Amino acid sequence: MKGDTMGKVISIVGQKGGGSKSTEARTLAVGFSEAGWKTHLADIDTKQQTSLKWTERREKSGLSPIDCALYRRVETAVRMKDSCHLLIIDGRPAAETTSLDVADESDLVIITTGTTIDDLEPSLELARELIKKGIDKSKIVFIVSKSPSQSQGEKAQETIKAWGYKVINTVIPFKTSYGEALDTGRALHETPFKSLNETAKQMIEEIHDIINS
């Protein structure tokens, strides 16, 4: 992977709080940075500040730093694309208007979802709303995460495909080790377990291939 494309914008949005939105944003920021992309992580959730607080924990753990800042306004965050290869916007949960503003400025819109109907329905509805308001369907891709099993993850993927949306092949499982990694400022591919790291790396590679296509 090479950071040879200037000013790409990836936004990660979701309808529910407590989802994997910030998890994916942080993992992609580390993955692309490691691959030589000058990456900026924009946290626009001023209440929770999940990504910003995580970068502080990362620094305390002595890990490679991630360039991250908190933004109240989407348009301020978007200006950062002029000074980096990749801007990753960690969106606010359940904020349709914000999601639209963010999606409008993005080359790729990632919607994260769990596997249950309670997770899937609002996520699919968010995608439908974004398209209805003018977002190009080809810019939207789903990631299924926090899956209790591979089969449940694959079932959720089939549901997403049945609605006509793109979804990456990788299913991110629900694992305690992922949570522990994030607690110490690490990304999903920085756990002590090779298999979990490989799964997260596959997710990064898939997003890299999409943004570079």
Answer whether residue 120 is part of any domain. Answer: yes
Answer whether residue 93 is part of any domain. Answer: yes
Average pLDDT over residues 128-138: 96
CATH number of the structural domain spanning residue 37: 3.40.50.300
Amino acid at 168: I
The reported pLDDT for the residue numbered 170 is: 99
The reported pLDDT for the residue numbered 98 is: 78
Task: Report yes or no: 120 and 160 within 8 Å, Cβ to Cβ.
Answer: yes
Q: Strand, helix or coil at 168? A: strand
The reported pLDDT for the residue numbered 2 is: 46
Given pLDDT bands bounded at 50, 70 and 90, which one contains residue 99?
Answer: confident
| 65 secondary structure, DSSP code | P
Query: Is the Cα torsion angle 185, 189, 190, 196 positive or negative in sign?
Result: positive
Q: Which residues of 183-202 are buried (b: 16+ CB within 10 A; e: fewer)?
A: eebbbbbbbeeeebbebbbb
Task: State the average pLDDT for the chain.
Answer: 93
pTM of the model: 0.94
Q: Tens digit of pLDDT for each residue in 27-80?
A: 999 999 999 999 999 999 998 999 999 999 999 999 999 999 999 999 999 999
Which domain covers residue 31, as residue numbers?
Answer: 8-211
Average pLDDT over residues 120-128: 94
Answer whether residue 3 is part of any domain. Answer: no
The first and second tokens of residue 180, run together, are: 């522990």
Answer whether residue 41 is part of any domain. Answer: yes
Kindly tell me if the per-residue pLDDT of 158 is higher than 70: yes
* Domains identified in the chain, total number: 1
In this predicted model, which residue has the larger pLDDT, 17 or 37? 37
Q: For the chain, what is the radius of gyration of the CA atoms?
A: 16
| 80 secondary structure, DSSP code | G
Query: Among candidates 135, 59, 67, 69, which has minimal Cα distance to 97?
Result: 135
